[in-house]
Every structure is written in structure tokens, then in C-alpha cells.
Structure 1
Amino acid sequence: MVGRQVAAEETDSDGPLTGLDPEQHAAVDAPRGPVCVLAGAGTGKTRTIVHRIARLIHSGHVSAGQVLAVTFTARAAGEMRTRLRALGVHGAQARTFHAAALRQLRYFWPRVVGGPQWDLLEGKLRVVSQAAHRAGAGTEPEVLRDLASEIEWAKASLVTPDDYPAEVARIGRQSPGPVEQVAGVYRWYEAFKAKANLLDFDDLLLHTAAALDEHALVAEEFRDRYRCFVVDEYQDVTPLQQRVLDAWLGDRDDLTVVGDANQTIYSFAGASPRPLLGFTRRFPHATVVRLERDYRSTPQVVALANRVIGAARDRPAGSRLRLVGQREPGPEPAFAEHEDETAEAAAVARRVVELIEAGTPASEIAVLYRVNAQSEAYEQALSDVDVPYLVRGGERFFNRVEVRQSMAALRTAAAGTPTGELPKVVRELLEPLGLTAEPPTGGATRERWESLLALVELAEELAAQVEGADLGLYVTELDMRARAQHPPTVEGVTLASLHAAKGLEWDAVFLVGLVEGTLPIQHADGSEAAVEEERRLLYVGVTRARRYLSLSWALARGDGRRNRRRSRFLYGLIPDGDAAARVSRARREMGGAVAATRCRVCGAALIDAVATKLGRCSGCPADLDEELLTSLKEWRARRARALKVPAYVVFTDATLVAIAEQRPVDAAGLVSIAGIGASKLDKFGGEVLGLLRARG
């Protein structure tokens, strides 16, 4: 028997529920008992949850103190409490799973354990390091992070150390090391922790469930206190969290769950949508409500999101939500192909400047990527155009441990003046630090590898730009970049991984680096389920955008070898036309009245980042004033020394060449050159125009 689908006409319209749409109203007004709300992205699920809790309390079904609402982040729990207070609800508990379990365990500890309460292990790497040493595993920081993550997955999946090897083999999971050795690390970790009377966050859940399962009086007291349960983001529950929820419920069914299987992106950590998708099998009489009206994004963004997730294979019935945009129309999502990653980052930075100058706050713009190592190019590009940025969910590139270690090794080597081609020298120096010929399968080890590879690509870029570039010059360039990339302590453009962006939204979103091997990530290719999770990651990224959305990819890294293909997930999404037409359309759509940049000599659409800045095709004749260019470079060097920043932070070489070719006579002509926005004009415009006037 399937769950009952609630139609809009079954709802009423009394006062407390004004402002809700018919489906939200149906969820809020559903009768006591199990309720499953399938809520698509942007459909107002938090609003629906808090109104349902308020309705249950105001109708006398439960008192506020008998409600326990759980979600997955402290931020989401705090928002829920704030909204409940605004509806006149005080005393209802809204917490994360772990916070709720910690509170309960502390209360019941004297009865279920006795003696002094064990301390909470805030950071487990120290104990994991001891366990790894005893088990003969590596103790490098990234190895320890991967081992810690694997132990977290095992405990969240209710897998014991003894069962770990067989379970990994059964599901085909990539282990961070030999399975017996990882099992040994897990076993020693648990032993060291118990000996020191320590609990980790997963223990909070395990002990809470055990307390309720094994102590009847404790379970009776708890279940008398809490009568009504609400679970947000139910697609992300792990087997361990589901076990805790089952212990809370006992044989009762006063449960409301809210989730979206299309946003399941944490399977690597043990999360599973199975409880959400199987809710009506467990509770055949459950009320099921589908929220599909998207209030976050424009119809254009919503349509693209539907196409992204609609291409998924074998979608279960509970995941077949089709969003319907409720906002006013906006620009079509833009697609852009670039020659290399540097050009892609520069193009994104230019568009960011345009959006900011048109009135979009920097804090309402996000650049989202698959892996944290991709952030460096965008940190650099935004620094070049003087736009502040914040890195969310990861360290800034030059602050990462592996990058600091690499720079120390490179400085030491530079003192000995090594010979050879720069990229080859850098690669050889980084090999002992983890730069293997083939990328690791994933986790922190893969992120470290990506960071090291990015350093090699910077060497390739420098070698291509500067004839005879050696390690000393390369180290100087790295130091300058590191010093320059200190964003101010003001709000700025968000740089984040797709995972870190979950639950957030912005007016403008740039999804970057959409190539095979990155999205889907290379190690996902062996499993159809893993590839489909990568598709859901793209869906999550698309649904973060309210109005402006750009999707881009580069045909090469930084070495000029065009050996990349755009992500398979983009096929069928990109409008018809060749690359030039796509880029032209992207600029036109994302800029409203802003036309595509065209060559000032032949009129052709410009795609390449340097060509766009110069305002002409690379093959078209240039009227370069060499003496003016020399004067501009000398002026830039003086300004860079005065500001204590690298020269490119003032203006890049390409911008100076463009000025020397076009010789603008006023501010309007100066800002018509790509890369010169309002902030650059304010800082340097008067001086540059003065140099131009002096040249006649």
C-alpha cells in the first residue's frame, strides 16, 4: 500500500497558516501520525517544518517541551529555533543528532554507566595517530585524516572492526589502505579511546541508542518526555542515526520526516536515502506530501535543474520531484568553454566584477568547484581584479599544510641552483611529498595530490611565459602570490566546494571546472551509483543559484595541452551552436544588455581571455606603442613597490598591452578594457590617463 498523496483541495485556510501554498498547507495540517514531506530544493521546507510544529502545539496535540526536531547542522537547528520563536513556540527542542544525544547521555549517564562522565574527544587525529602507529600504518597528516574519515564511516554504518574487511569487500568500497590494516587501526583506536575514558561523536549516538534499548526505565522516561519527532534532511541519515531515531520512537509513529533524495551527496560518509524512500513501506498509512514549487530560483534556473536530475538513471519514485519555478523570469543559464583553467578563472573574475558594478553584493556571488584544490586559480583571478573573497569549507590554497611544506622544500632546493626544465624540476621535488604519477583514489590524500599538481601547473605556466625561468624565479613568484592573496576581513565572493555549498544559496553562482575526471570525479567511474551521486552534486550546485547561473569548463590545465572533455552531465543541456556562439550567448545572457566582446579590427566574437582583454584576435594587426608600454611597466613597478604587492595585482601584462594598443583618452575608454573596473579606475585611472596624455 502506498502512502496517501495529499491534494491541495484537502486543506483549509485558517489564520495561522496564511502565506503557505496548498502543498505546504497540506503538510502543516496533516493529521497526527507519520508524515513524509518530499521537498525539492528551494520549496520552503524549513518554513513548512516550523509551521507544522507550531500547528501541532497550538492545536493541543503536544506541548512544546514534548517536541524534538533534529537536523544536521547547528546553523539549521538555530534557524529552526528562531523561526519557532517567531511563531510563538517556546520550549521545543531543535538540535543536531549529536547535540540531542549528548544532552540525553549526560542526563542518563549516572543510571546507565555510573561514575564520572567520560570526556568528549573533540579532535580524533591524535588517537588515530597512536592507533596507526600500533597497526603499522602511515602517520602522515593526510593519511590520518583519511583513516579518521574511514572510522567515522564504519561507525556511522554500524560496521565493527571485525566486520570491516568483509563489508568493504561486499559493497566494493575503496579503503584508504590495506583492509586488514585499516581494521587494525580502527580496533586500536577504539581500545585507546576506551582506556582513556573518551567518547567520540559517534559514541554519543551509539551509547544513547544502547541506553534506550537496554534500560527499560530510561526508555520509559525518555518516551514520556518526548512524544513528537521531526527530522530534517532525512535523505542524509546514516544507519547509526536511524538506529537512534528508532530508539527514540519505540513502537510509536508520531514522526514527520522531510527530505529530497535528489540531494543525497554524502554516501561516502554513510548517508543513505533508503529510509526516506522506504518510509511508506515502514508506515503504510503515512501521509505523503510533495513540495515542488521552487521559490528560490528563476524558472530558467529551475528548468536547467530539472534537466540535470531528469537524466539520472533508475530514479526511485520518491525522487521524481519536478520543480516549478515561482519567481519572475531571469536570464538563461550561461555556458562557456575556455582554452585553459587560467582563462576560465579570468573570465569568471571579469563577470564577477561586472555583477558587482551592476549592484550585486559580493556576498551574493559564489564560485563552486568539485575539489578544494581548484580554488587557487580563482583566488588568484579575483585578487587580480581586486575583488575580496572568502574560502568556505577549506583552507585557502597557500595556507594548506602540503603547500607550505612544498614551498619550504622548493626554497631549500632553490638555494642549491638545480638545473633542468622548471616543471620537471618542480615535479621531481614534489614527488617525495606525495605527487605520484597516478592520482590517489580520493579523500585527503587525493586533495593533497591535487594541491601538489597545481604547483607543477604553476611552474608550467611560468615556464611558458618567461624564457629561462628557473626555480629561484618560481619560488619568488609563489611567495608574491602567497603574500598578495590575503583577502580583507570584509564580506566577499564565496569560494566553496559543491559539498560545502549544500544548504546555501546566492544571487549568482558560477559552477566551474566541469570536465571529465573532475565532475564526475575520476574515482567515481567504476561505479554507476557513484557517478549518479556526482550528478546529484551538479544538481545541488545548480539549485544554489537564485538568478544568475554560469557553467564553464576548460580544455586544458595550465600547460596548453587540450586533453580535456567537458563533463558528460552537460550533454543535452548546452544550447546549439559552436564554442564561439556559446560564449557570445553566455556573455549576452549573463550581462543583460551587455553585448558579446568582439574584435575591434575584424569584428569576430572573442573567446580567448587574452584576446578579450586586448580587444582583438591574436592574428589581427596591432598598433602597439612600445615606448608607452615601457612607461606603463615602469609606472606599474613603482606602484607595486609602494603597495608592497606583486606587479600583476596592479595590472596584468595583457592589460598594459591593451592600454598601449588602444590608448584610451578618458575614463570611459579605460574601463572599456576588460579587467579594468570601478575599483581599478579609482585607484589607478588618473595616473594612467596622465601617462597617456603625456605621450600625446
Structure 2
Amino acid sequence: MATATLDLSSLNPEQYEAVVHPGGPMLIFAGAGSGKTRVITTRIARLLQDGVPPWRILAVTFTNKAAREMRERVEALAAAGAVRDMWIGTFHSVCARLLRTEGRAIGIDQSFVIYDDSEQLGTIREAIKSRGLDDKAIQPRMVLSEISRAKERLQSPDKYAQIATGHTENIIAEIYRDYDVRLRRANALDFDDILFFAHRLLEQAPTVREKYQEKFLHVLVDEYQDVNRAQYEIVQLLGGKHRNIVVVGDDDQSIYAWRGADVSLILRFSSDHPDAKIVKLERNYRSTGNILAAANAVISKNRGRADKRLWTENESGPMITLTQTGTERDEGMMIAEQVERLVASGRRKYGDFAVLYRTNAQSRPMEEAFLTYRIPHVLVGGQRFYERKEVRDMISYLRLAFNGRDDASFRRAVAVPSRGIGATSMQKLEDMARKREIPLMEAARDQALQTELKKAGAGLRVFIDVVARGAHVAEEGNVSAVLRELLTASGYVDMLRSEHTQEAEGRLENLQELLNVTSEYDATAEDPSLGGFLESVSLVADVDALKGENGEAVTLMTLHSAKGLEFPVVFLAGME
């Protein structure tokens, strides 16, 4: 299906070997800067050229940015329209798509919403409170982390309860079960549920499993060193029939153990597939010789790593500079001085620089130094677009218009703008919903309760009408129209305009940007829908913006955030 015969002449021998591999399992160890994205995309284009139908190819990545880049690169190599029918996406987006399409087989309603971090924490707090526990003694964040790890290990509430040992784990087991019930009642999934239930679907619904095993003739997975157990099992289940599973990764680049990644799984691939072809991409095209030599010297100390060593034909380049300072404040000032000197010389722009550190807490001395020198800078990991209050508020309205059972969104949306619904009225509403085991929206429709609540009851009627109007517009599929209706009908825009403050103006600008996002979605999505838009928002994992308004600012970020990025000048701060 390619527009022309692929030119493979510029590939090195190992890249060529990976691209033309005829079939069967293959493990590609791809060192940093070794051209792995090119290898994956060229292999996909080669499969299409050889006559594999696009819809029989599944390609999985770890970030939306990587999925977009893969799609664009394949599109440039393949016949027009071929990419449209392929499944290219993150683990979460692919699994969410599976659940929306086939989830009924295990009792998952296709209109589920995806709870973000704050909504998950809020639900955990409710579960803790309902059991008469103190959320200061049993910290919600700790409980949520433990439940997340359990789901990554594919442990259901019952399974976790069976293996729980000690007082704390037994309490967490009770909260886990309550948390799960609350999510199901709200027709909501958290991020870990998306993988957990996709695995359950493939494991417990043989008809669905066989359908997708037959469908996906080729399965390709990027960044395989970052998979957790659930993701590993999902790949094996989907690729289990044809066994054309190609995984690409580098155990030396495994940096996500803190969120469940298990580097041993990339090494386990060859034992699970003894006939797997192993290809090593060891030639680096990105770095200078000196940088590569230092990287090799450091990583060689790692234990249990695959045997490989990166090399390059690039020139040696400048030596790495090691500078010691007395304090972290001195370190920040030294970095700021060097940035200012290089920019003043005309050799560099502010956007050329990145300052990397291990944790966000280490950014403070750099920020203070840059403020002292009046150096424009952007802190990656600051408040992102979808975390801003007004954006979260309106997303809650949209989610409620899509799924009236979403209690977390109800609580947020009903409170703003103020409708005279105070804490006492909300408690009565919560009590009714809990006693009847119904969603808050359904309890809010109870006429007897509305009458009892008087002013608050009138506010509830107005709120119910606003959400209903949004849901009605959503039936047409135009998301920007739904948002406009909710912005106007809710009184949210009028509320901000009446404040006459600079902060309110900024919030209005953010809501306009959200409208731009919905308009872009309506124009580009294959089948635009409110549910599809909300899913895309929930799964966004990319950094919103790396640079300032004029595109020129020094970037401050953790090493984790910097993965896959490149800058002409990099400072590694806090190396001690």
C-alpha cells in the first residue's frame, strides 16, 4: 500500500535487519539516539507495502506525543489514508477503546468517565470517611498509591484482601473494596482500571480475545522497558495467536519503576519467546563522542543489564564540564551567570538551554537565580492547562452532561457558580444518595428533597436544567457547541465578567482556549463526540508548553520530564 518502494539503503545493517524481519517475535534493544523511531515506522510502512491491511496492525507507545509522531512518520511513508485504519496509540488509549467497544462483556458501560488524580483522591477520602476512619491517620495519597500498585499487579479488591497482612493492609483492603464500589456506581474508571479491566476483558471474554487476536496480525510496542505487569500481559494476550510481536526498548533507559514499570519484563521477553529474534541498535546518531563515553561509563555499573555498548562516528565534541560550588544557591547563580554570558555573546538564545534535576524540589535555587538575573524561564511541571480551576470546572460540567452518574463531577460543578447550595444541603443530598445507593444527580431530582431544601432546592433545579441542556446539545456530536451552551447557561462566564479583575480576565482567556481545543477536536476527530473528547482530555500526558510567550525561555525540568527531548546546552544540577 506504500506510495512507492521504500528506500532502505540509508539504514545501517542492524536497522535493516529489524525492518525486514519476516515474522515471529522480535526484541529490539535500541540504545539512546540509535534511530528506533525510524526503525519502527519504517517497519510498519514495510508491512503495509507487503500487503498487510492497516487495520491488522497495532502499534503501542507510552505518550500521546510519541503516538502522534509515529502516526505522522508512517503517514509520510505509506499510501494516503492507510494510517487512518491502523490502531496507533498509548496503552491507555488503546485499552480505553477496547473497553468502550467491548466492555459490556464484563459489565463495563461504554459511557464510563475516567477519573483524574483529584477525583480519585476525593473518592478515597469518601471511602475512608464512610468507614469512620481519620484521613490524617490513614493518608488518602498513600492508600491510593497502594491500590494503584495492586491494580498494576492485577489484584482485584478480593485478591488484595486475601493476601493482605498486618493491620494497615487490612484497612486498605476494606477501603479498596469501598473505592471500587463507588467507582462502579459512578460509572467511572481510574487510570489503572483502564489497563486492569482491559486485561480482565481479554482474559475472561474468550470471544472478544479471539476476535482481537485474529484482528491484530502484527503488534509493535515502543519503550518496552517501561511496561508493568498488566501491560506485559495485555501485549501477550493480543499477540498470542499470530505471535508477530515486536517490542522495542532499552533496559538502560528504564526510569519509571516508581510508577510500576518492571525492567525485568523486557529481559523476560526472550525467555517467554525462546525463538525470538534479538537485534541490538548500538550506533548512536545523536550525541558527541565525549557525551557517549561518559554515559557508557556510568551505565556500565548497572547490574543485570543486557550486554551492549553504544558507539558513534560523530566527532568527540567539547569536553563535559564539571563545576563544584559551595551551596545550592551558589550553583543556581553560577548557572544563571553562564546562561546570561552565552546569550550576551550572541552565540545562544534562551530557548537553547535546559536545566535538569532529579526532583522538582531542586528547582527553587535555579528559579531564584533566574529571577535575580531576570532570565526568562519556564518551569515544566508547574500548573498545567487542564489543572487550572476554571478548566477543571467546565470539564466537570461536560463530564456530567455525558454521564449523569459522575458524582465527583457533580460535587465540583454544582458548587460553581454559587447557587445557594451550602454544606448542610449537600450533606442531605449525600445522605439520600448513600441510603438509596443512587447517584447524586438522581437524588437531586427528588421533588420532596427539593421542597425541603427551599432555596437550595431551587438552585438544584436550575443546575439540573443546565446539565440537561448540555446533554441535549451533546446528542448532535459537536463538542464546542456543548461547551458554549454550558458556559452560558451555567452563568460561569457572567460570574467571571462581573469580577472585573485581571485574574478573572486570565480565567476567561483559559476558557476561550478550552473552546479552541473543542473546536480543533470537532474539526479533526474522525467521529467527534463528547465522550471521545473527554477521553482525549483524560489521557493527555504531554507537557502543555515548554517555552514562554515569545518562544524563548530557559527550560527547568526533572530528568524524567526531559526523556526524549534535546537541547543544545544542558546543565545537570544537584549531581551530588
TM class by shorter-chain length?
Answer: 0.5 to 0.7
Partner of residue 336, structure 1: 323
How far does residue 259 in structure 1 lie from its aligned partner after superposition?
0.5
> Post-superposition shift, 1:353?
2.0
Q: Does 1:40 align with 2:31?
A: yes
**In the alignment, residue 106 of structure 1 is paired with which amino acid?**
R
Greater CA deviation, 111-120 or 67-76?
111-120
Question: SS of the residue aligned with 2:34?
Answer: coil
Aligned partners of 1:339, 1:115: CA distance in 2, in Å? 59
Q: Which residue does 2:222 correspond to in 1?
A: 232
2:75 counterpart of 1:85: yes
Counterpart of 1:106?
100
For 2:100, the aligned partner's letter is: R
After superposition, residues 252-271 of structure 1 pair within 5 angstroms as: 252-271=242-261
Match of 1:390 among 367, 378, 402: 378
Alpha-carbon distance between aligned partners in 1 of 2:330 and 2:297, rounded to the nearest angstrom = 28
1:489 corresponds to 2:562 = no
Question: Is 1:147 aligned with 2:135?
Answer: no
Query: Do 1:136 and 1:181's aligned partners in 2 also have CA atoms closer than 8 Å?
Result: no
Code of the residue aligned with 1:322 in structure 2: it is R
Structure 1 counterpart of 2:337: 350
Out of 266, 280, 284, the position equivalent to 1:290 is: 280
Say if 1:135 and 1:251 are closer, same or farther in 2 by CA, change over 3 A: farther
Q: Matches of 1:112 and 1:511 in 2, distance apart? A: 48
Tell me the equivalent position of 1:669: none
Name which of 352, 375, 379 aligns with 1:364.
352
SS at match of 1:17: coil
In the alignment, what sits opposite 1:120?
Answer: 114
Contact 2:356–2:556, Cα closer than 8 Å, also in 1: yes
Describe the shift of the 1:242–1:180 C-alpha distance in structure 2 as closer, same or farther (beyond 3 A): same
- Structure 1 runs, 4 residues or longer, greater than 6 Å off: 165-169
Cα gap change, 1:342 to 1:287, in 2 (>3 Å): same
Q: Deviations over 1:582-636 (max 9, x none)?
A: xxxxxxxxxxxxxxxxxxxxxxxxxxxxxxxxxxxxxxxxxxxxxxxxxxxxxxx
CA RMSD, Structure 1 to Structure 2 (Å)? 2.9
**Does the 8 A contact of 1:137 with 1:185 survive in 2?**
no
Amino acid at match of 1:368: L
Residue in structure 1 matched with residue 574 of structure 2 by the alignment: 513
**Structure 2 CA distance for aligned equivalents of residues 142 and 181 of structure 1:** 9
Deviations 1:240-299 (A, max 9, x none): 111211221233310100001111111122111222112221112211110111111111
**Corresponding residue of 1:500:** 561
> How far apart, CA to CA, are the structure 2 residues paired with 1:250 and 1:235?
20
3-state SS of the aligned residue for 2:308?
coil
Deviates more, 1:257-266 or 1:142-151: 142-151
Structure-to-structure mapping, 1:616-655, within 5 angstroms: none
SS in 2 for 1:41: coil
Task: Give 1:69 deviation, angstroms.
Answer: 0.4
SS in 2 for 1:276: helix
Structure 1 residue 57 and structure 2 residue 57: aligned?
no
In the alignment, the residues of structure 2 paired with residue 209 and residue 106 of structure 1 have an alpha-carbon distance, to the nearest angstrom, of 14
1:396-425 Cα offsets, whole Å, 9 max, x none, are: 9xx999xxxxxxxxxxxxxxxxxxxxxxxx
- Provide the residue aligned with 2:429 in structure 1: none
2-structure distance, mates of 1:135, 1:67: 48
Structure 1 counterpart of 2:304: 315
Secondary structure at the aligned position of 1:336 is classed as coil
- Which residue does 1:23 correspond to in 2? 14
Deviation larger for 107-116 or 224-233: 107-116
Match of 2:366 among 357, 378, 396: 378
1:280 paired residue number:
270
Question: How many angstroms apart in 2 are the aligned matches of 1:143 and 1:503?
Answer: 34
Which secondary structure state, in structure 2, belongs to the residue aligned with residue 509 of structure 1?
A: strand
Separation in 1 of the partners of 2:550 and 2:147?
A: 38
Counterpart CA distance in 2 for 1:186 and 1:103 is 25
Letter in 1 for 2:557: A
1:94, distance to aligned residue in structure 2 (A): 1.4
CA distance in 1, matches of 2:330, 2:237: 54
Q: How far apart, CA to CA, are the structure 2 residues paired with 1:65 and 1:113? A: 26
For residue 506 of structure 1, give the secondary structure of its aligned residue in structure 2. coil
Counterparts of 1:245 and 1:155, CA distance in 2? 17
Cα pair 1:74 1:95 within 8 Å, conserved: yes
> Deviation per CA, 1:477-508, whole angstroms, max 9, x where unpaired?
xxxxxxxxxx9533311111122222222221
Q: Which residue of 2 aligns with 1:563?
A: none
- With over 3 angstroms needed to count, the CA separation of the structure-2 counterparts of 1:497 and 1:127, relative to structure 1, is same
Q: Give the TM-score taking structure 1 as reference length.
A: 0.54
Aligned partner of residue 16 in structure 1, secondary structure = coil
C-alpha separation in 2, matches of 1:142 and 1:345: 38
SS of match in other structure, 2:575: coil
Residue in structure 1 matching 2:130, options 123, 129, 134: 134
Q: Which residue does the alignment assign to 1:686?
A: none
1:180-212 CA distance string (max 9 Å, x none): 333333232112212222222222222222222
**Change in CA separation of 1:249 and 1:393 when aligned onto 2, cut-off 3 Å:** same
SS in 2 for 1:496: strand
In terms of Rg, which structure is larger? 1
1:593 aligns with: none
1:527-566 equivalent positions in 2, closer than 5 A: none
Sequence identity (%) = 37
Cα displacement (A) at 1:380: 1.1
Shift in Å, 1:114:
7.2
CA distance in 2, matches of 1:79, 1:168: 43
Quote the residue 1:244 is aligned against.
234
Q: 1:100 to 1:385 in 2, by over 3 A?
A: same
Cα distance in 2 for residues equivalent to 1:159 and 1:15: 46
Kindly indicate whether the alpha-carbon contact (under 8 Å) linking 2:67 and 2:90 is maintained by their aligned counterparts in 1.
yes
Contact preservation (8 Å) 1:43, 1:291 = yes
Q: CA deviation at 1:31?
A: 1.9
Residue type at the aligned position of 1:150: E
Describe the shift of the 1:116–1:292 C-alpha distance in structure 2 as closer, same or farther (beyond 3 A). closer
Query: 1:125–1:24: structure 2 CA closer, same or farther, 3 Å change rule?
Result: same
Deviation at 1:119, TM superposition (A): 2.8
1:324: Cα distance to partner?
A: 0.9
User: CA, structure 1 residues 364+196, in 2 after alignment: closer, same or farther (shift >3 Å)?
Assistant: same
Answer yes or no: is the 8 Å Cα contact 2:213–2:237 preserved in 1. no
Q: Read off the aligned partner of 1:100 and give its amino acid letter.
A: V
Aligned partner of 1:186 in structure 2 is: 176
TM-score normalised by the chain length of structure 2: 0.65
Unmatched runs of 5 consecutive residues or more in structure 2? 390-546
CA contact (8 A) 1:106 1:117 kept: yes
Distance change (3 Å), C-alpha of 1:363 and 1:152: farther
Cα deviation, 1:291-324, whole Å, max 9, x if unaligned, reads 1111111111000000111122x333x2x32111
Displacement of 1:178 in angstroms is: 3.7
- The 3 A distance-change label for structure 1 pair 252 and 128 is same
Task: Report the AA paired with residue 127 of structure 1.
Answer: T
Matched positions, count: 405
**Counterparts in 2 of 1:223 and 1:116: CA distance versus 1, 3 Å:** closer
Q: Is the 8 A contact 1:37 1:288 kept in 2?
A: yes
Give the whole-Å Cα distance in 2 for the aligned partners of 1:181 and 1:115. Answer: 29
